[in-house]
Chains A and B, each alone.
Chain A
Amino acid sequence: MTRSRSQGWWVWLVAAVPVAVAGVWLLAVLSAATGYPWPEPWRDRSQPVAYSHQKHLALHMECTACHFGAETGTHAGLPPTSFCASCHLLIPPPGSAAEADTNAVAAAAAGGTNRWAAPTPPELARYLKAGEEIPWKQFQRAPRHVFFSHRRHVTIAHLDCAVCHGDMNRRDQPVTRAEFPTHLPGMNRCVDCHLKEKVSTDCLACHH
């Protein structure tokens, strides 16, 4: 029996499609399970402002100063732009030495340089001037059937933020994916810590 090459191409095509789908799916699962940054070209992971935790933490700011909900509520929350405006694009008191630098601040907002202690990048200046909140994309998100309280972990258990969120002192780029330093898959990262700390692993302690 003889078979020409033109007769067999579609067979390989039909065979390749499910294999390719399975391969992409496997990559996505491995990415979610291991926390390893596998490429996900279908998802836009850019943040509107290139916020650097490293620069702000280098000034000895505290995590809960901006994410104040972490101590009192379920969600840690993000600070409003008014927090940014306290230092960036600040209008100094009239007659003060800093007032002369206000023009330099405006120059920095337009892309130039200034001698202000808190230079304002243009993309941030745009939101501050418009008085709008920065539309951050959320990547750290608990599933809907999970009740995760930051207050329980931060205020009651005195858990350091770095245990779950990693060393933010070295992060000079905004957060663009959910990352956990333990690299355990899914719920195991929670249960592993609960077992180590001898706290409840009861289903209803965390699940609705």
Chain B
Amino acid sequence: MACRRDAGEGGDGARLRSFLIVAMSNPAKKPDSRDPVPGRILLVLGCVGGGLLAFYLVLAVQAWAWSPAVYVRYAESPRSRTLLDPAGPPVRPQATQPTPVEHGREVYRRAGCAVCHGVDGKGGVINPNYQRGTFPQLNNISQRLFLRDADSHAAALEALNEGIPLDADEDLGIDRQRLVGVQYANVVRIILDGNPAQRKDPAGVAPLPMPGWRDRLSETDVRDVIAYLISLQDLKVYEEEE
């Protein structure tokens, strides 16, 4: 058998050994039994093995560095037991249809209104060289619509939640409803068609005006955004006035 001849009879193993000797020696020089070839093979194997060892050492360092074992103390908890229970985790209730206020909030955030008018309409974002300094806050729009008491505020919100605009002809139970309707129509117009911004310094940079959203928002979107903004009104203002 070939493997037996490798040991001393000069079979395939001896040929491979001769090939390695020639390959790892100077090509111009013939193999010489006095050359320290076994030592060179060991050196090559040592280098490769050392490299692999260094590689695995790095992996070990990585495993140590990233291991959270030092920090994690509790691998089992009631939550784990619940999730691993064959009955499965509790089923979440299905999402319901969003109300106009919820839809308005979503539109307000997704359309980018919050970039200028602030998250939750609190304003405070600087408009360079704008006469008023900052973009208008919108969480007090209820007052700007002349909804001057809590009952009118609640009635307006209820009407918008039912899909009725505040400039509708029917009686909505709002104090001075005609005036509120005119203001509501003005706000809708500003949202759809935009509004210029007056410069503080005439020679300065042009401040950013309100862009028109007619191409991007539907009438329902605008109505729901206004409903959302009205819902942000701090009702303590009405209590203080009373």
- A residues neighboring B (CB under 8 Å): 1, 4, 6-7, 11, 14-15, 17-19, 21-22, 25-26, 29, 33, 58-62, 64-66, 68, 72, 79, 82-83, 86-87, 90-93, 96-98, 100-101, 115-118, 185-188, 191-192, 195, 200-205
Contacts and interface: CB of A to CB of B under 8 A. Distances in A.
B205 A200 contact: no
A91 B68 CA distance: 53
B116 A86 contact: yes
Contacts of B209: 90, 92-93, 96, 98
B83 A204 contact: yes
Interface of B: 25-26, 36, 40, 43-44, 47-48, 50-52, 54-55, 57-58, 61-62, 65-66, 68, 70-77, 79-80, 83-84, 109-112, 114-116, 118-119, 124-129, 134, 193-199, 204-209, 211-212, 216
Given A195-B71, A202-B80, A62 B114 contact: yes
Contacts, number: 164
Given A18-B54, A62-B118, A186 B73 contact: no
Contacts of A72: 109
A18 B77 contact: no
Contact of B118 (A65, A97, A100, A200): A65
A56 to B, nearest CB: 9
B210 to A, nearest CB: 8
Nearest to B108: A68
A87 to B, nearest CB: 5
A181 B71 CA distance: 19
B212 A83 contact: no
Nearest to A116: B206
A203 B77 CA distance: 9
Given A68-B114, A185-B65, A97 B206 contact: yes
B72 A191 contact: yes
Contacts of A97: 196, 198-199, 206
For the residues of A in contact with B, the DSSP-based class is helix
B50 A82 contact: no
A-B pairs, 5 with minimum CB distance: A18-B51, A96-B196, A186-B66, A22-B54, A191-B71
A64 B119 contact: yes
A116 B205 contact: yes
A187 B43 CA distance: 40
A82 B54 CA distance: 51
A67 to B, nearest CB: 10
A1 B39 CA distance: 13
Contacts of B207: 98, 117
B119 A14 contact: no
A58 B55 CA distance: 47
A100 B124 CA distance: 27
B206 A11 contact: no
B47 A15 contact: yes
A115 B79 CA distance: 58
B58 A25 contact: yes
Contacts of B74: 201-202
Given A7-B26, A86-B211, A92-B196, A18 B118 contact: no
A201 B119 CA distance: 32
A126 to B, nearest CB: 20
Nearest to B78: A202
A21 B51 CA distance: 8
A83 B79 CA distance: 40
Contacts of B127: 117
Contacts of A29: 58, 61-62, 65
Contacts of A93: 193-196, 209, 212
Given A68-B110, A101-B206, A117-B128, A18 B55 contact: yes
Most chain A CB within a 10 A radius of its CB, from B84, B197, B209, B212:
B209
Contacts of A116: 205-206
Given A65-B118, A202-B75, A98 B197 contact: yes
A98 B51 contact: no
- Give the interface centre of B25, B51, B70, B111 by most chain A CB atoms within 10 Å: B51
B112 A83 contact: yes
